[in-house]
Amino acid sequence: MVVHYIRNSNFEGEKMENKIKKIALLTGGGDCSGLNAVIRAVVRTAILKYNYEVIGYVGGYFGLFRDEYVPMTLSSVSGIFHQGGTMLKMSSRDNLFNYRTVDEQGNVIHIDVSDIAIANLKKHGVDALIIIGGDGTLTSARDFARKGVNVVGIPKTIDNDVPATDITFGYRTALDHIMLSLDALHTTAYSHDRVMILEVMGRQAGWLALEGGMAGSADVILIPEIPYDIKKVAKQIIDRYNRGSRFSIICVSEGAKPIDGEQTIKRIDKTSTDPIRLGGVGEQIAKTLEELIQPITGQDIRSTNLGYIQRGGVTNTFDRVLGTKYGAFAVDMIANGNFGQMVTIKSDKMNKVYIEDVVGKGLTGETSSGGARRVNPKGDLVTAARNIGISFGD
């Protein structure tokens, strides 16, 4: 019998006996490839190794609040392994600690409905809850742990920006989409002597643009961690042209910003736990660059926003295996009573960290802002890219 203490919770120091019979899981935030691999691994480990009963809440925290769930069996996770998305659906809208609703007069109000969610867990005899999500979802996971719920977190995002873990599932599949898109842009850029810009996601972290751009042989990579000077970007393209390379490829992160300007905001989603949506920087760069370059080289510039394609599709080898490792380890953590903690992977070893210590902190020692794990502008990846002549526009 395992006895554990919940750290950093209202129940600090209280002894609990770990007699797990039933667990639940939910997926929160934006989707990515590998979620189904995690769900499958959780369900298979829970049933085959521990004989736990498993239920899955549908639609993330909203499902937990509304008590919408499905029983999870070996057959319900059969055939989902390779598929992107999540069979349990998800939402980035629902913070149950600050839940957006309307009062009787029709005014928008925010209320704490977390006790309803906890009552639902109790009603079904759920002993532990696995929460799979990015930092918004994990922040609520921390808050549920503080209220005494036996929570285990699994980090998820294509952005690869969760602190304390080297890699999140979904990231590598997204990189494959970026690489293949850049390969495709190369042929059309070459045929028309054009400059092609590919805008990719990543929020405040430039990992997707950096590694995707390197794999896809971009000539310029623009990331939020290294503000760019558009004149230096233009110089790189003109220098290439003068050396005989009449096309150029730019891979830009949605969060990239000029040295003298701001990030490009596409919209503010007031209903979301993370309201700012970035987007449009590729088109902006295309306009400004054209004015600087066309009079000299005559090149046309076209911008493509890869958008949600990078979040979907068939899950690649790496993410299938990583998702399996994350999911299986999370259930072992439940069995060992490692609650209030999140699965991590460091130097290829599975480990765990208190969610309290991760959310909003940027633990890795990398440049961090808003808790995100960001690219180190002086790190090995950026250095390798610079060594082979890739410009960061700085």
Selected binder of ligand F6P within 201, 328, 331, 334 (CB under 6 A): 201
CB of 202 or CB of 393, closer to ligand F6P: 202
Minimum distance of ligand F6P from residue 390's CB (angstroms): 22
374 lies in the site for ligand F6P, by CB under 6 A: no
Q: x/- string (CB under 6 A) for ligand F6P, residues 312-351? A: ----------------------------------------
Selected binder of ligand F6P within 6, 25, 30, 256 (CB under 6 A): 30
Inter-residue contact 241 to 190 (CB < 8 Å): no
Beta-bridge partner residues of 305: 199
CB of 89 or CB of 235, closer to ligand F6P: 89
Closest CA to 94 of 274, 284, 347, 233: 274
Question: What's the chain's Rg over C-alpha atoms?
Answer: 23
- Residues 375-394 binding ligand F6P (CB under 6 A) are none
Query: Sign of the CA dihedral 381, 387, 392, 394?
Result: positive
CB of 155 or CB of 216, closer to ligand F6P: 155
232 lies in the site for ligand F6P, by CB under 6 A: no
Selected binder of ligand F6P within 147, 277, 325, 361 (CB under 6 A): 277
Selected binder of ligand F6P within 27, 95, 150, 157 (CB under 6 A): 157
Q: Which residue has the tokens 């439940």?
A: 334
Minimum distance of ligand F6P from residue 201's CB (angstroms): 3
Minimum distance of ligand F6P from residue 191's CB (angstroms): 30
89 lies in the site for ligand F6P, by CB under 6 A: no
CB of 36 or CB of 264, closer to ligand F6P: 264
Minimum distance of ligand F6P from residue 134's CB (angstroms): 6
Angle between helices 135-146 and 114-123 (to 10 degrees): 70
159 is catalytic: yes
Instruction: Identify the active-site residue in 159, 161, 219, 319.
Output: 159
Inter-residue contact 263 to 255 (CB < 8 Å): yes
Minimum distance of ligand F6P from residue 157's CB (angstroms): 5
Which stretches of the chain are DSSP H helices?
35-44, 61-66, 114-123, 135-146, 171-192, 207-215, 230-242, 281-297, 317-335, 355-358, 380-387
Q: Is 128 helix (H, G, I), strand (E, B) or coil?
A: strand
First to last CA, the chain: 58
Cα 246 from Cα 269, distance rounded (Å): 41
* Structure tokens belonging to residue 279: 């987007």
Inter-residue contact 112 to 307 (CB < 8 Å): no
Residue nearest ligand F6P, CB atom distance = 201
Which residues fall within 8 angstroms of residue 370, CB to CB, at 6 or more apart? 204, 360, 362
- Write out the DSSP string of 105-120: TS-EEEE--HHHHHHH
Cα 19 from Cα 5, distance rounded (Å): 14
Selected binder of ligand F6P within 28, 34, 163, 202 (CB under 6 A): 202
* Size of interface with ligand F6P, in residues (CB under 6 A): 13
158 lies in the site for ligand F6P, by CB under 6 A: yes
203 lies in the site for ligand F6P, by CB under 6 A: yes
Selected binder of ligand F6P within 53, 143, 159, 199 (CB under 6 A): 159
278 lies in the site for ligand F6P, by CB under 6 A: yes
Residues recognised as catalytic: 159
- Please give the residue ranges that form the binding site for ligand F6P (CB under 6 A): 30, 92, 134, 157-159, 201-203, 254, 277-278, 311
